[in-house]
Structure 1
Amino acid sequence: MTQDPPGWTPVTYESCADVVGPFFHGTRSEVTVGTELVPGYGSNYQDGRVSNHIYFTGLIETAAWGAELATALAGVEERGHVYVVEPLGPFEDDPNVTNKRFPGNPTQSYRTRAGLRVVEEVPDWPGHEPEVLQSMLDSLARLREQGLDVIDD
């Protein structure tokens, strides 16, 4: 996409204070309330890659995708975890999804280098049907085969 949708304002480090939560983070990892999630660990989505950011979202469905994809890509049979989180510093739109398939940032996906604090776990988050998850995994595999699974981190 080359043009921002009408009425949409990008979220930047300078404007992020205008964005209010709640915010969510989906992962395969089980952590306790109060844990600070920080960058510098292996990516859930690309083997051998250290992530420079922590990613989060304003939508529970987007966090559910994060939890489901992280567990599936790791070959873990568990469901994963979704947490309510608070950013510990400035954040910006996630460039990996912003203005890609859809204009703007409809998934309300963000990233930060400052880290996130886990506020609580969401115990009964709504997941996706197995065939929907498999379709997403197949799409990711096709991108990887084409060398298009690039992560802007």
Structure 2
Amino acid sequence: MNIKFDPNNTVIKLCMSGMSYEDSGKIEDAITMFQKAWDEATDDYERFIAAYHLGRKQKSITDRLKWMEISLRCALNINDENVKSAYSTLYLNIAKCFEEMGDFDNAKKYYELSNSYKDVHSDDGPFYHGTKADLKVGDLLTAGGTSNFNSDLKMNHIYFTANINVAALAAALAKGEGRERIYIVEPTGDFENDPNVTDKKFPGNLTRSYRSKEPLKIIGEVTEWSKLTTDEQGEWRKKLAKTKAK
């Protein structure tokens, strides 16, 4: 099964619609979308994501705990690099439920489990960078450029990912008239989780997105990947415009 985060996956799109309703204050509509995502989930990866969002919106502590435990169980069943970054967040949410219920022994246990997975990443790649820039093997990608998605932003970091689906999205939405390109890159220094996505919408860093102040060296280029349709690109551009407006 392909468990890499795919922004065009039906369940992920339903959860994102739910979060849009949530941002607009339409909580009941959000819960309806999260429930639909759960009902349509077909594997542990989709169930783990849908259960997490359903759990967040439960009014009852016991229901919140139940859904977070389901989410964790599905994530542990997968046991893959693509979901390990979510463990800390899931353990933390479960710990908070136990603390709220007055079960301090279990709360302590789950806080400790959360801490044991915090800031732990040993991602060996391969890593990708999506763009429309015409570059070649051996070139260095450096920080300090203008954001692909917001021309008002100067980038203090260079961004990359271990998920080719995310690199494909970046390439499709990048500014410029050139063709979409995905380069295989190698970090030349330390890197960290991209805080713009980590624990913002989904638990952990499911997109395996990173950033570095040090250059990325281009070591190859991907020639074939699943490209976004014109309609899908339009949907994402609307989402980006909405985010920028906020």
Under a length normalisation based on structure 2, what TM-score does the superposition of the two structures give? 0.52
Tell me the equivalent position of 2:47: none
Structure number with higher relative contact order (C-alpha < 8 Å, ≥ 6 residues apart): 1
Contact 1:10–1:104 (8 Å) recurs in 2: no
Tell me the equivalent position of 2:157: 53
Contact 2:156–2:213 (8 Å) recurs in 1: yes
Contact 1:23–1:56 (8 Å) recurs in 2: yes
Q: Where does structure 2 lack aligned partners over 5 or more consecutive residues?
A: 1-52, 57-87, 92-112
Secondary structure of residue in 2 paired with 1:32: coil
Instruction: Tell me how far apart the structure 2 counterparts of residues 10 and 26 of structure 1 sit (CA, whole Å).
Output: 28
- Aligned pairs for 1:86-125 within 5 A: 86-125=186-225
Tell me the equivalent position of 1:130: 230
Tell me the equivalent position of 1:83: 183
Tell me the equivalent position of 1:40: 144
Under a length normalisation based on structure 1, what TM-score does the superposition of the two structures give? 0.81
What displacement does 1:104 show? 0.7
Q: Identity, % of aligned pairs?
A: 38
Instruction: Tell me how far apart the structure 2 counterparts of residues 55 and 99 of structure 1 sit (CA, whole Å).
Output: 17
Instruction: Report which of the two has the higher share of strand.
Output: 1
Determine if the alignment matches structure 1 residue 67 to structure 2 residue 152.
no
Instruction: Tell me how far apart the structure 1 counterparts of residues 201 and 230 of structure 2 sit (CA, whole Å).
Output: 22
Instruction: Report which of the two has the higher share of helix.
Output: 2
Secondary structure of residue in 2 paired with 1:126: coil
Instruction: Tell me how far apart the structure 2 counterparts of residues 145 and 49 of structure 1 sit (CA, whole Å).
Output: 14
Instruction: Tell me how far apart the structure 2 counterparts of residues 139 and 10 of structure 1 sit (CA, whole Å).
Output: 30
Determine if the alignment matches structure 1 residue 5 to structure 2 residue 109.
no
Contact 1:10–1:93 (8 Å) recurs in 2: no
Contact 1:92–1:111 (8 Å) recurs in 2: yes
What displacement does 1:145 show? 2.1
Computing the radius of gyration over CA atoms, which structure comes out larger, 1 or 2? 2
